[in-house]
Structure 1
Amino acid sequence: MGPMTDGTRERRHAFGDDAEQYDAGRPGYPEQLVDDVLDFAGGTAAAPALEVGAGTGKATLAFARRGLSITCVEPDERMARVLRLRCAGLPQVTVEVADFETWRPGSRRHGLLYCAQAWHWVDPAARWARARAALRPNGAVALFWNHWFLQDEHLARELTAAHERHGLDIPEHTLLDPRPRPAHHGPRARQWREMEADGGFTDIDHRLYTTHHPRTAAGIVGLVASNSGYRVIDKARREPLLDEMARLVGDRTVTVRVVTSLFLARTKDA
């Protein structure tokens, strides 16, 4: 992703238009991933942790329930409102509404910075320096994303054809996107290359996790509608497409395969 543009900022805040729907539509993250991140970061000794782009708390709860003290930085007040409600019984979670690019960590440094499904929204010109500034020496970075795939290939073709009938392209990185996801692995991946180019990170690693999730028509439409590529489509064009997608799924329960991509690294010692 290139420099931050007005269009990128618009899409970054599109999720807050219906924060509750986003929260209901998106799957969470594998427990094994949480285990691996905490093991890499040194367990609760990684506290305080910093979550960038916390959204409605899909990852927050998984880490907070392991006893981790977390500061969540979320740029959208509407998303942060849902996040606060979900974390109401977790006093070790603090929510701050701010863009990570301008958020000030103060004198406190963190042992772990993690970001779920949001690192690509942070300005590429600032994100790695900002991460290093927020972390202690040897602090851990964990960046992860879910990639969604519809297991039923016939249904996928039907839903793709519905987009064509409505004159709409399939947005990138969504359930029906035919392009490979993740596109690159290990040292060929953009995140790996950017951390190497920055020069401030070591012990870089890339891991993949696969899980399967049953979804009804409402679940499929909810997942699709939660993506910014669909949210920025005019509602008068988007809603008829989503209605047709729900009719095509019908009363079936279908399987969504989720591949979660995790990048790990540590800041260099001084």
Structure 2
Amino acid sequence: MVELFGEVADDYDEIRPGYPAALAATILAYHGGPPSRLVEVGAGTGLATALLRDLVAPAGPDAPAHPARVTCVEPDARMAAVLTARFPDVEVVVTRFEQWSPPPAGVPLLACALAWHWLDPDTRNRRAHDALAPGGTLAVLAHRYDYVDPAQSAAIRAAFESVDPQPHHDRPEDWFLADITGSGLFTDVRSVALRRSVPLTTAGYQRLVGTFSPQLRRPPQLRERVLEAVGDAVDGFGGTVTLDLRTTLVLARRPA
């Protein structure tokens, strides 16, 4: 399932929202300044990489030699190809986090944006802990999509269910905060949330829906029916839907 999104890599890169610039200062303040190196797990096409790569301190003339200051670990070669084209200065490793070998001394900052749920739940916290240097920072980000207007929310939900009544249950909004805290492996666990209103046209919303995993799991004919139904719903209230996009950042530290 981690290679599900490569089918729509270009749409994913173009229509999925990025991450608020304000989060950069939050990460730097928590970490205590720019890290010398950063690894991003499940980087996809680089939507978070755009924010994260600028966190890393410039390498000085006396800095230790590293193969790269920013390394992105991404299992899907099609997503990784888009990522490489966007950020040729970033090292891209095409593999699963479970198969990736961190440097022996660990890394000062390990990030994961909208991919924590794709990692092996039995090992992700331990692997993240072990990949970090002592005192290093774990930064996990995720979006939660909702709608500003309750009437739009109800109409779109009804449109989905009219075509595909099978329920799709969202995890609780703070599930990964509970997951990381509950592992007992990290200290100073904190959570920060930001909200944005994101307007989309009918076509834009249909493209966004086309990048979601429940839609990608549907057979092709059902996908088309879903897109038609949600498109009709958005057209029904003027051709624009406004998303209530909530972004959560969880920060945690490996004990020194």
Work out whether the TM-score is over 0.5.
yes
CA contact (8 A) 1:163 1:169 kept: no
**TM-fit CA distance, 1:65:** 3.4
Q: 1:92-241 alignment to 2 at 5 Å?
A: 93-169=90-166, 171-173=168-170, 182=173, 184=174, 190-241=175-226
Number of the residue aligned with 2:251: 264
Matched, 1:33 2:18: no
User: In the alignment, is residue 57 of structure 1 matched against residue 46 of structure 2?
Assistant: yes
Q: Structure 1 segments of 4 or more deviating over 4 A?
A: none
Distance (whole Å) between structure 2 residues aligned to residue 112 and residue 242 of structure 1: 39
Give the Cα separation in 2 of the matches to 1:47 and 1:109: 12
Say whether the 8 Å CA contact 2:116–2:176 is kept in structure 1. Answer: no
1:67 offset after TM fit, Å?
4.7
Report if the CA contact (8 A) 1:166-1:241 is conserved: yes
| One-letter amino acid of the structure 2 residue matched with residue 57 of structure 1 | G
8 Å CA contact 1:209, 1:259 repeated in 2? yes
Q: Secondary structure at the match of 1:249?
A: helix
Of 129-138 and 246-255, deviating more is 246-255
User: What's 2:87 paired with?
Assistant: 87
Whether the 8 Å CA contact 1:72–1:95 is kept in 2: the answer is yes
Contact 1:47–1:70 (CA under 8 A) maintained in structure 2: no
Mark the runs of 5 or more structure 2 residues left unpaired by the alignment. 58-68
Asked if residue 19 in structure 1 is aligned to residue 9 in structure 2, the reply is: yes
Distance 1:196 1:149, change over 3 A: closer
Q: Which runs of 5+ in 1 are unaligned?
A: 1-9, 174-178, 185-189
Give TM-score scaled by structure 2 length.
Answer: 0.88
1:58-77 correspondence to structure 2 within 5 Å:
58-67=47-56, 69-77=69-77
The change in CA–CA distance for 1:164 and 1:119 in structure 2 (over 3 A counts) is closer
C-alpha distance in structure 2 between counterparts of 1:161 and 1:266, whole Å:
42
Hey, what does 1:5 align to over in structure 2? Answer: none
Distance in 2 of aligned mates of 1:140 and 1:218 = 39
Contact 1:28–1:58, Cα closer than 8 Å, also in 2? yes
* Residues 151 and 256 in structure 1, CA contact (< 8 A), matched pair in contact too: yes
Contact kept? 2:37, 2:56, Cα under 8 Å = no
In structure 2, the CA distance between the partners of 1:248 and 1:234, relative to structure 1 (3 Å rule), is: same
Letter in 1 for 2:15: G
What is the TM-score normalised by the length of structure 1?
Answer: 0.83
CA contact (8 A) 2:24 2:52 kept: yes
Cα shift at 1:26: 1.0
CA RMSD of aligned residues (A): 1.9
Percent identity between the two aligned chains: 36
Q: Is the 8 A contact 2:74 2:95 kept in 1?
A: yes
Q: 1:267 is aligned with what amino acid?
A: R
